[in-house]
């Protein structure tokens, strides 16, 4: 039996707040469907105070406003949902992507107490200077400027006090609501809502671990060790914990500040080229990419070097997934809609009940839109927007990392086009794609999997004799019971039984006809009052009725 939110009395006040916010923004029908009002001691008249009839806002806008009002957990949930066009229509995706993650900073006294608790000593013992006024403030943390005793300028990212408690409360409520929606609405028949919340909870808890973010920064720095066009700040691990992250402070011009870039004499094309090379290398070579590449997270330093910040949100792509993406890219360039559907099926994206012909037809329609266009004229954002309705219609379940990748490519392409309007990201990616294809065909690439497969077969061959003898011994002792389950066997037996009945009836009719034919010469059928005449006539009538009935039965069943 599912546990309802009403039984979670320790979160009753937060439940009431969530219900009131959703009702105020026009989602009273959902609250009523989930039967929350009686359990939360809320009056039914609240539902009558639903969205005013004159409200100019649509459902997507009201959902975004409700999530912004409910705080960091729901803001993060909306941002995650904005990368899942398999779950929501395009209008909701576009609106949720606008969710703001900028909030007023926490009081300095609380932040100072949090820092000193984590560092284990007063701030003055750790930093020479520390600016109480934050450089930036988001829903989960805020960033301050400071100086270490060695003179190093750093930024200190500190988690908001008590944010974990609030998030854990909200996550418990989200699990309860997901179970209710799963049980009481049609969405539960289509989606695993509890599984979606579980995935979101794991992502959010990982983002709260600043040690993990520090390791992400170290990994990026290692991946780009030989590239001079990207700078990853150093992590000061002596002062870093799960709640505090201390990084080298990097200074520069924001990536999309065109007037400042021109005033500094920077080459915008080289900057766009470096940004594109960065994301293409991350995706095709490393399988580890920065998944929040908005312009505020990148600055341009002297020499057109790009400085990166904020490594909390990252994406991962296995080598197998990268090879499948390259194959999908190849069949898409070849305008092969059947090949695209085949590749989507191999990737496990389509699910088991997909309408293959309908999906192929819609993909063909999409490909015709881009037929004859040079790759340089195709925009990743436009393609993604065209794919979103198809993904929603056919419930294409792409891994969250792939949707993050699509969002990342669109954002970086937008930055590149702002820097250089004629910028072609496909031209930048072409040499990386060719190099990856050569690696796919190289014996070094498929040699190791082949060796592993041979080892597996060799191990299986060694196991067969031993396992075979064990099975035979169990058969001899009568310990093995074989059960055969034939799907549709009952229907098959019923049809065979009907056929046997028809065959028996046909044989009986044939016998009666032959018998009557043999009786005809033995009687005088010309005498109407003769008993034999009456019997023969009645026999023919009876046989005729049976024959007509058999013909009608056969005709109705088509055979």
* pLDDT tens sequence across 435-466: 777 776 666 655 556 566 666 666 667 777 77
- Supply angle C-alpha 36, 41, 47, rounded to 5: 60
Locate the DSSP E strands across 190-241.
230-231
Closest-CA residue to 398 (of 350, 343, 346)? 350
**Per-residue pLDDT tens over the stretch 130-156:** 999 999 888 889 999 999 999 999 999
* Predicted confidence (pLDDT) per residue in 512-541, tens digit: 666 666 665 555 555 555 666 666 667 767
* CA distance linking residue 381 with residue 378, whole number of Å: 9
- pLDDT for res 7: 45
User: Does position 65 have pLDDT exceeding 70, yes or no?
Assistant: yes
Residue 559 has a pLDDT of: 47
User: 83 vs 146, which has greater pLDDT?
Assistant: 146
State the DSSP string of 347-374.
TT-S-SS--HHHHHHHHHHHHHHHTT--
Q: How many CA atoms lie within 13 A of 127 on its CB side?
A: 22
- What share of the chain has pLDDT > 70, as a percent? 80
SS3 192: coil
Q: Please name the residues in contact with 167: beta carbons below 8 A apart, sequence gap of 6 or more.
A: 72, 73, 204, 205, 208
Catalytic: 292? yes
459-467 contacts at long range (C-beta below 8 A, 24 or more positions apart) = none
Alpha-carbon span 23 to 51, nearest angstrom: 8
SS3 11: helix
Q: Which of 292, 310, 362, 424 is catalytic?
A: 292
Measure Cα distances from 374 to 207, 313, 368 in Å: 40, 33, 13
Position 529 scores a pLDDT of: 55
Q: Report the alpha-carbon distance of residue 170 to residue 18 in Å, rounded.
A: 10
Sketch the domain layout of the chain as residue ranges: 5-100+166-203, 107-160+209-249, 256-441, 446-481, 490-556
Contact 512, 543 (CB under 8 A): yes
Asked if residue 185 lies in contact with residue 33, where contact means CB atoms within 8 angstroms, the answer is yes
Percent of the chain with pLDDT over 90: 30
HSE-up of residue 343 (Cα within 13 Å, Cβ side): 19
How do residues 6-46 score in pLDDT, each as one tens digit? 445 568 888 888 888 888 888 877 777 776 766 666 666 65
pLDDT band at 198 (very low <50, low <70, confident <90, very high): very high
For 165, the enclosing helix (H) or strand (E) is helix 163-184
In terms of pLDDT, which residue wins out, 394 or 175? 175
pLDDT of 484-513, one tens digit each? 666 666 676 777 767 776 677 677 767 766
Listed range (110-114, 179-183, 499-503, 526-530) with the worst mean pLDDT = 526-530
Per the CB < 8 A criterion, the answer to whether 110 and 142 are in contact is no
User: Tokens representing 228?
Assistant: 């001079």
Which pLDDT belongs to residue 4?
A: 46
Q: What is the pLDDT of residues 251-301, one digit of tens each?
A: 999 998 999 999 999 999 999 999 888 988 998 889 999 988 778 889 999
Is CATH 3.30.200.20 the right assignment for the domain spanning 107-160+209-249? yes
Q: 502 versus 205: which is more confidently predicted?
A: 205
Average pLDDT for the chain: 81
Q: Beta strand 230-231 with 305-308: parallel, antiparallel or unpaired?
A: parallel
pLDDT greater than 60 at residue 552: yes
Residue 12, burial from CB neighbour count under 10 angstroms (0-12, 13-18, 19+): middle
Q: How many whole angstroms separate alpha carbon 188 and alpha carbon 170?
A: 21
Q: Is the pTM of this model over 0.75?
A: no
At what angle are helices 59-70 and 72-81 packed, to 10 degrees? 140
């Amino acid at each position: 039996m599912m546990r309802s939110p009403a039984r979670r009395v320790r979160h009753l006040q937060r439940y009431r707040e969530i219900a009131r916010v959703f009702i105020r923004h026009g989602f009273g029908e959902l609250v009523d469907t989930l039967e929350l009002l009686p359990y939360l001691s809320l009056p039914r008249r609240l539902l009558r105070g639903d969205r005013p009839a004159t409200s100019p806002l649509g459902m997507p806008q009201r959902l975004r406003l409700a999530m912004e009002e409910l705080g960091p957990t729901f803001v993060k949930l909306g941002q995650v949902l904005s990368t899942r066009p398999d779950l929501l229509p395009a209008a909701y995706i576009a609106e949720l992507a606008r969710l703001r993650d900028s909030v007023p900073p926490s009081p300095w006294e609380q932040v100072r107490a949090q820092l000193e608790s984590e560092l284990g000593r007063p701030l003055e013992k750790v930093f020479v200077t520390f600016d109480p006024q934050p450089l930036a403030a988001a829903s989960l943390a805020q960033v301050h400027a400071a100086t270490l005793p060695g003179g190093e300028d750093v930024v200190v990212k500190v988690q908001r006090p008590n944010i974990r408690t609030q998030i854990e409360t909200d996550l418990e409520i989200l699990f309860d609501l997901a179970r209710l929606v799963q049980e009481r609405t049609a969405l539960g028949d289509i989606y695993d809502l509890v599984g979606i919340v579980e995935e979101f909870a794991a992502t959010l808890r990982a983002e709260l671990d600043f040690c993990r973010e520090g390791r992400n920064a170290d990994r990026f720095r290692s991946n780009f060790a030989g590239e001079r066009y990207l700078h990853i700040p150093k992590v000061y691990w002596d002062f870093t914990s799960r709640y505090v992250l201390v990084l080298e402070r990097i200074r520069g011009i924001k990536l999309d500040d065109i007037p400042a870039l021109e005033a500094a004499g920077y080459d915008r094309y080289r900057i766009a080229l470096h940004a594109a090379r960065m994301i293409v290398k991350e995706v095709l070579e490393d399988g580890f990419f920065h998944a929040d590449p908005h312009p505020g997270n990148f600055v341009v330093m002297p020499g057109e070097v790009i400085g990166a910040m904020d490594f909390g949100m990252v994406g991962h792509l296995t080598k197998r997934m990268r090879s499948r993406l390259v194959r999908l890219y190849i069949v898409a360039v070849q305008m092969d809609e059947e090949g695209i559907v085949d590749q989507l099926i191999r990737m496990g994206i389509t699910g088991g009940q997909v309408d293959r012909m309908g999906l192929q037809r819609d993909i063909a329609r999409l490909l015709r839109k881009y037929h004859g266009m040079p790759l340089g004229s195709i925009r990743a954002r436009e393609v993604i927007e065209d794919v979103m309705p198809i993904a929603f219609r056919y419930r294409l379940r792409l891994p969250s990392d792939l949707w993050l990748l699509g969002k990342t490519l669109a954002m970086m392409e937008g930055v590149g086009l702002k820097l250089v309007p004629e910028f072609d990201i496909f031209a930048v990616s072409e040499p990386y794609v060719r190099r990856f294809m050569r690696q796919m065909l190289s014996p070094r690439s498929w040699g190791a999997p082949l060796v592993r497969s041979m080892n597996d077969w060799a191990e299986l061959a060694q196991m067969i004799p031993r396992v075979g003898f064990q099975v035979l011994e169990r058969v001899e002792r009568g310990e093995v019971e074989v059960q055969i389950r034939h799907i549709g066997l009952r229907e098959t037996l019923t049809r065979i039984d009907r056929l046997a009945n028809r065959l028996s009836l046909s044989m009986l009719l044939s016998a009666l006809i032959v018998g009557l034919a043999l009786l005809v010469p033995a009687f005088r059928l010309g005498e109407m009052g003769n008993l034999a005449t009456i019997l023969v006539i009645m026999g023919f009538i009876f046989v005729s009725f049976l024959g007509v009935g058999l013909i009608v039965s056969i005709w109705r069943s088509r055979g």
